Amino acid sequence: MGKSFGLLGIADQECRTRPGITVCYIAPRLNQAKKIVRSTFIDLHKTCPVDLRPKYMTQESAYVYPNGSRIEMSGFNAGEIEAMRGPKAHLIIVDECGFMTDLKYGLRSVLTPKLNSTKGSMLLCSTLPKSAAHEYWEFVKRAEFDGTLFKKDIFQCPRYTKEDIDGFAEEMGGYDSIEFRREFLNEMITDQESAVFPEATEEKMASIVMEHRRPAFYDSYISMDIGFRDYTAVLFGYYDFLKAKFIVEDEILLKGNKVTTTAVATLIKQKEEGLYASKPVYLRVADNNNPIFLNDLAQDPHKLYFQPTAKDDKESAISKVRLMIQQEKLIINPRCKTLINHVKYATWNSKRSGFDRDLQNGHFDAADALIYLIRNIHANKNPYPNSYFLPEGTLWDNTDKNSPKNAFERDIKELFNPFKPKNTQK
């Protein structure tokens, strides 16, 4: 089914099973809302007995059911949303949010108060807007983070064959065209010029966001981007030397008055104990914007030592992260929801002097913490002991010149040395 058909199917069911409730259906303009509801109800009520069908009330722009429930219609743009102020609602459906202006104002100041007394729900639905700067995109990212996002694309619709979809794609300029990806694959295409990590596409993120089996030997790293107005982001990970990959295993996010030395130290120690109890952390790094905070962490009773990271040539450090994403040398555990969002959606500000801000992700602080992690990897350090790859039961030490293995190799070389007289008695 289409999204509007599905939403109005929910509205119809709610009205039939809950006498006396009010459902608000809102489209960008009132006339559009009326046309959508009218055409949808023709299909929806084909098999409905006449005496159970809702009656359309022209003056009220509403459909009224026999049990007293009603679906009220309204527009959003050009100030039409103001007409929805006042009476309570039990369910609010906002359709095509991506094409509404002043979306946050309308949702928060006009519509949300209508649900206060009923504790009702609000469903937001839309084709994605043309620009990631539209306010609807903020709500999409928030829903994705909260696990309340319902997302479908053309390939999940059983009404269309592969040949049908091929035709749609051809009309849109191909499967890789921005129009096809936005309209039919439901992808929000971030401007490649402003994206901090343009390689972090939906497809690529699906390849690098996964569980990773920890190797027998590894070096663990912790990185912190300190913030008070913004988030303090702490990332926990390790370097898999054999696969040459860095794995981010977990994260901590704190903000405002929750960012105290004791709170941060306690959470970090708890996380370290849970992840790396059997082995000390190899390296902790942090930005050097707040040396007093780092000094306090290093003192009794915390004794958490963070090395201030270099922060010069940021674009070069970001390029290293981008390359690791492209080559799938970076793995992110699915539990790191904030980091995943920040990698996917981080953008530069207009002057390209720093990261932009948005409603859900703030200043993309977890992205900074990731950059600190990657630039401080000691990739040449081998965490495996010298004897790890010898045959089982072998006790030789490669560094010992007098070891049985090296002594045997020396004897073989001497035996086959043509320039050295042979000891026939031996």
Same domain, 8 and 136: yes
379 three-class SS: coil
CA pair distance 296, 299, nearest whole angstrom: 5
| ∠ CA 230-272-244, rounded to 5° | 90
Q: Residue 371: inside a domain, yes or no?
A: yes
Same domain, 83 and 30: yes
Same domain, 261 and 339: yes
* 378: Cβ contacts below 8 Å, ≥ 6 apart: 219, 239, 282, 283
Same domain, 185 and 287: no
Give how many domains the chain has, as a whole number: 4
Same domain, 138 and 232: no
CA pair distance 306, 297, nearest whole angstrom: 8
Same domain, 275 and 317: yes
Q: pLDDT tens digits for the chain (426 residues)?
A: 688 899 999 999 999 999 999 999 999 999 999 999 999 999 999 999 999 999 999 999 999 999 999 999 999 998 999 999 989 999 999 999 988 988 999 999 999 999 999 999 999 999 887 666 678 888 888 898 888 999 889 999 888 999 999 999 999 889 988 788 888 988 876 666 778 998 998 889 999 999 999 999 999 999 999 987 788 999 999 999 999 999 999 999 998 888 899 999 999 999 999 999 878 999 999 998 888 999 999 998 999 999 999 888 888 999 999 999 999 999 999 999 999 989 988 888 878 888 887 766 778 899 999 999 999 999 999 999 887 776 665 555 555 555 555 655 666 666 666 665 555 454
Q: Residue 196: inside a domain, yes or no?
A: no
Same domain, 301 and 175: no
Q: Residue 406: inside a domain, yes or no?
A: yes
Same domain, 367 and 393: no
Q: Are 376 and 283 in contact (CB under 8 A)?
A: yes
Q: What residue numbers bound the domain in which 412 lies? A: 389-426
Distance set, CA 161 to CA 166, 167, 168, 184 (Å): 9, 10, 11, 14
For position 28, which CATH number holds?
3.40.50.300
Put simply, whether the predicted model's pTM sits higher than 0.85 gets the answer no
Q: Residue 290: inside a domain, yes or no?
A: yes
Same domain, 367 and 395: no
Angle between helix 365-375 and 314-326 (nearest 10): 90
Q: Residue 279: inside a domain, yes or no?
A: yes
Same domain, 215 and 334: yes
Same domain, 32 and 98: yes
For position 305, which CATH number holds?
3.30.420.280
Same domain, 86 and 160: no
Q: Residue 165: inside a domain, yes or no?
A: yes
